[in-house]
Every structure is written in C-alpha cells, then in structure tokens.
Amino acid sequence: MKYVLNILMALSLTLVSYAGGLTDKKAGTTATEPDEFPVPNNVPGLLFYIQRDPNTNTICYQLNVDKQGKISEKNPVNTFWIRYPEGGMRKELNYLQRKFAYGINSKAIGNATYELRSVAYSKLPLYLRRDTRNEYHVYTSIDKKECILSRVFIRIDGGTFWSPNVLYIELKGTEIATGKTIIQRIKPS
C-alpha cells in the first residue's frame, strides 16, 4: 500500500511540476527561496496558495461564494492558477490538474464546516470553517499546532516526469493560540 501511495504522490507532484506551464527558473542558478516568490495579495477570499519549483506559477484556493456572498455548499473552494511568468494572468485548472495534482475534495461536516483533502496528498486534513468574526479560513495542524494555513511550497530538484525529486513540502500558517507564523517542512518518505 505504501508503494502505491508513493507512486501516486510522485505522479501527482510530477503533474504539479510539469502541468503548470512555462518555466522561469534559469538553468544552473540556485533555487529561489519560498519567501522570494510573488504573493497573490489581490485575490478576494483567498484561503491559501501553493507554489513550487520550477517556476513562480501559483495555484490559488479561494472561498467560492455567490453574488450574495453565500458559500457554495457543493463546492466551497474555487481553485485556479495565477501565471506570473505570463504577466500574472488567471487561468482555470485543466482536468488532470484538478483530478490528480491541485484539486480539493470537500465534505460538509456540519455547522458550516468542511473537511478538505488534497487530491495529491490526502494524508493532511484541512478544515474550512468560520472564525469568531464570521470569516472563513482553512485550518490545519502545522508542527503540531492548530494554524490557519496560508501557503504550501513544494521544493523539487530535478528528477524525471514520472519520478520528480521532491526535497520537501513546506507548510506555512498562523498559530491560532499565539498569532505567530509557523513553518514546517515535510520530507517525503
């Protein structure tokens, strides 16, 4: 079973790497640090985003609401690209990206709360719920602390289409209890 999970993760992360579009990293340069990537500040209802090598294309996860501001119960999260190397244009995910790399499966669990699972890495539960100000956020455990998730970064260093060399997955968020920024790097096994 673990072998199958590793293959699925490798395939999903490969799609993360190669299905994203143009590359803007120059051959022979050192890797860009996650905090040097552009931040999608102008996305209304942004819940969190994913960035990864080999380019700065960014996958945004946005609260999906109608014109009256009511959340879509069937599909509470809208996912799309911001293609920074292409002038920052917004582009919808294609079928393979939604189903195998960047998609989110959601399940209502009551009290306007949803359990979210990434199609690429379903081990980490995410929870979409309201805070005390009635604003939605995505909550998860980062370094064993309850946090509001803000960014996921995937460091890829070469490899092949079917077997990318994933060095780490970095989670970044704000701890609920203290308001401190928490960062955790997960190394795939």
Banded pLDDT at 31 (limits 50, 70, 90): low
**pLDDT over 90 (residue 40):** yes
pLDDT value at position 7? 33
Rounded Cα distance between 96 and 157, Å, is 22
Rounded Cα distance between 140 and 151, Å, is 12
Taking CA atoms, 177 is separated from 133, 151, 186, in Å, by 16, 19, 22
This prediction's pTM: 0.83
**pLDDT over 60 (residue 28):** no
Rounded Cα distance between 33 and 79, Å, is 24
